[in-house]
Amino acid sequence: MILKRDEPLAPRTSYRIGGTAEYFFIPERMEEVPQAMSYCRAKGLDLRVLGGGTNVLVGDRGWPAVLSLERFKHTDAFGPFAKAEAGASFPAFVKKLADNSSKGAEALCGIPGTVGGALLMNAGGHYGEIGEFVKRVKVVEADGRIVSLDREQCGFRYRESDLKNRIILSADFEFSEGDREEIRTRMRDIFQKKKASQPLHSHSAGCVFKNPPGLSAGRMIDECGFKGTRIGGAAVSVLHANFLTNDDDASASDMLELISRIQGQIKERHGVELELEIKVWS
């Protein structure tokens, strides 16, 4: 297993924000994941897994211990079945699914990150979520046991799952067969829609807040007049108000201040607590 010290985390996140990891583990075999966990437990270090870093705001002081599954990237799709290791690129996996005529893949296009992160968050949008297609997920339990969970045991719901206190290693999926050209056309269509309404080329972590039941966080923030608001280098996107971007060397504290200003205003105007969709490591 590779162990780095004081590894910069900002370049490993889409926000390009955050301090260093005091300990940064890169296991080369699955069995090394529980070893890293027990090492951290013995030293009293809080270990977090970093996937594609596309949904996380790392604090300016960084994090004590981080594990990357970047050596586990294998994916496969054959007939109705597919499998993927947690460190695989989610967009590359989705493309493979589309090439395999797996119906439903189109709903997952335009989502960045790794397969592990997508599973943990039950990534998706208006068109569908990854959890719908899961058969089994292989995880390391908090006590170090490697077990296989059925979909029902994963507790997939809106942008959440019961996988969060576990480390996801890999998953098996099942899709029905669709028409490859139809899937590709729909994918292009969904991607165009996202490109028109989301700042896909900025340093962001996608939507920052969950949509409260029956409401749209983006619309509420927009209606409060927040688009373009800046604190330090952090800004509310003018394209989509639920996207906060790092426009100019923002610090995590700039971003957190902007987040809490938005939450305060929405609470005052609508009486609604906006819950974070991104993970904050601070």
The number of CA neighbours under 13 Å toward the Cβ of 253 is: 2
DSSP designation for 113: S
Q: Which of 134, 144, 143, 114 is nearest to 50 (CA)?
A: 114
For position 206 contacting ligand EPU by CB under 6 A, the verdict is yes
- Tell me which amino acid residue 14 is: S
> Per-residue x/- marks for ligand EPU, 124-143, CB under 6 A?
-xxx----------------
- Could you give the CA distance from residue 266 to residue 261 in angstroms, rounded to a whole number? 9
Helix, strand counts (H, E) of the chain = 7, 19
Q: How far is the CB of 205 from ligand EPU (least distance, A)?
A: 7
Q: Which two three-digit tokens encode residue 182?
A: 């139809």
Q: Of the ranges 23-31, 44-52, 119-127, 135-143, which one interacts with ligand EPU (CB under 6 A)?
A: 119-127
Residue placing its CB nearer to ligand EPU in the complex, 53 or 218: 218
For position 170 contacting ligand EPU by CB under 6 A, the verdict is no
Q: How far is the CB of 66 from ligand EPU (least distance, A)?
A: 21
For position 192 contacting ligand EPU by CB under 6 A, the verdict is no
Helix 90-99 and helix 180-197: axis angle, to 10°? 150
Site for ligand EPU in 215-254 (CB under 6 A): 216-219, 222, 240-242
Instruction: Write out the residues near ligand EPU by the rule CB under 6 A.
Output: 125-127, 194, 197, 206-207, 210-211, 216-219, 222, 240-242, 277
